[in-house]
Copies of this chain bind each other. A is one copy, B any other.
Amino acid sequence: MQLIDGNAIAASIIEELTTEVGTLSGKKPVVAFIRVGEDPASVSYVRKKEKTAERIGIESRLTLLPESITSEELFAQIDILNADPDVNGILIQAPLPKHINETATFNRVLPGKDVDGFNTVNIGKLCQEDSSGFVACTPAGIVQLIKRSGIETEGKHVVVLGRSQIVGKPAALLMMQKACPGNATVTVCHSRTADLPNITRQADVLIAAIGRANFVTADMVKDGVNIIDVGINRVEDANKKSGYRLIGDVEFATVSAKATHITPVPGGVGPMTVAMLMHNTLRAFKASQANQG
């Protein structure tokens, strides 16, 4: 069994991006973050993104808005960033307050600055295999984990557990596209799937994104399976200062014994998302430079 070290792979990507940004003369890429309210998790995520951007040499700008902001005011802020030619990428930290429509907000960002890949146009481009679009950071990170671990997908059976817009469906579309990784036979399962173990046992690669702790057990996979565990579930743990620990959708102890490759939680898919956000930002920057050239 080989552990897929998401921290190490993310660090390699950040290193590559740092090298590439270092070669840029003149303008540097700029990513703008919008954070609404003071949710501690959001504060921490945005800080982590700022630090990674700084490490790479990407300039970041932070717009802080109050929880009470209206959609119109939020959209006006997005429009300012859309119109600013120096801003290459825009990330609106989720979750947003309940009175604000997240889909409409993500769609307000220009597709060419939507480094989060949540805009309808970018999702459509993924479906159309138009590589000019941005792929959402979690599924893009999954592709990199698979690629950089040398896991073959061509002609293989990839089973995706979960059909969310943000992970399951884009991961499925990426795995079926004419690319490497890709060219896989892809099955999407979910809560309504009948006889799920019969499906998951066929998986050469199992991408678990169902959001249930320890859902995938050893009897549900075949020997030699490759596991990408996207789940991040909190379970109570009196031994931890925080009172909880994070575990995946896959029962690691038993499933890892049958797996060829497996991601840990934490330290698997998680660290990849920030790296892919920076990757998308650099791509947005290069596209904007090419358009001006």
Q: Which residues of A contact B (CB under 8 A)?
A: 103, 119-130, 154-157, 163, 165, 169-170, 172-173, 176-177, 183-190, 192-194, 199
Ranked nearest first, the 6 interchain pairs of A and B with the lowest CB-CB distance are A124-B124, A120-B124, A123-B124, A187-B187, A155-B194, A185-B193
Cα-based distance from A165 to B126 in the complex (angstroms): 10
* Pick from B103, B121, B172, B188: contact of A120, CB under 8 Å: B121
Given A121-B120, A124-B121, A169-B163 contact (CB < 8 Å):
no
Cα-based distance from A129 to B169 in the complex (angstroms): 11
Given A103-B130, A163-B177, 10 other A-B contacts at CB below 8 A? A120-B124, A120-B130, A123-B128, A124-B127, A129-B165, A157-B199, A163-B176, A176-B190, A186-B188, A187-B188
Instruction: Let me know if A173 and B169 touch, CB within 8 A.
Output: yes
Instruction: Let me know if B155 and A192 touch, CB within 8 A.
Output: yes
Given A122-B124, A169-B173, A185-B187 contact (CB < 8 Å):
yes
A183 neighbours in B (Cβ, 8 Å): 190, 192
Cα-based distance from A187 to B200 in the complex (angstroms): 12
Indicate the member of A127, A129, A130, A169 with the most B CB atoms within 10 Å: A127
Instruction: Let me know if A194 and B188 touch, CB within 8 A.
Output: no
Cα-based distance from A54 to B176 in the complex (angstroms): 41
A192 neighbours in B (Cβ, 8 Å): 154-155, 183-185
* Pick from B103, B121, B165, B189: contact of A185, CB under 8 Å: B189
A128 neighbours in B (Cβ, 8 Å): 103, 120, 123, 165
Instruction: Let me know if B185 and A199 touch, CB within 8 A.
Output: yes
Q: Considering only CB atoms, which chain B residue lies closest to A185 in the complex?
A: B193
A165 neighbours in B (Cβ, 8 Å): 127-129
Instruction: Let me know if A127 and B193 touch, CB within 8 A.
Output: no
A177 neighbours in B (Cβ, 8 Å): 163
Given A185-B194, A187-B186, A188-B186, A127-B130 contact (CB < 8 Å):
no
A186 neighbours in B (Cβ, 8 Å): 187-188
A129 neighbours in B (Cβ, 8 Å): 165
Q: Considering only CB atoms, which chain B residue lies closest to A128 in the complex?
A: B165
Cα-based distance from A127 to B166 in the complex (angstroms): 10
Cα-based distance from A130 to B102 in the complex (angstroms): 13
Determine how close the nearest CB of chain B comes to the CB of A263; give it in whole angstroms.
23
Instruction: Let me know if B176 and A188 touch, CB within 8 A.
Output: yes
Cα-based distance from A194 to B183 in the complex (angstroms): 11
Cα-based distance from A123 to B127 in the complex (angstroms): 7
A163 neighbours in B (Cβ, 8 Å): 176-177
Q: Considering only CB atoms, which chain B residue lies closest to A129 in the complex?
A: B165
A123 neighbours in B (Cβ, 8 Å): 123-124, 127-128
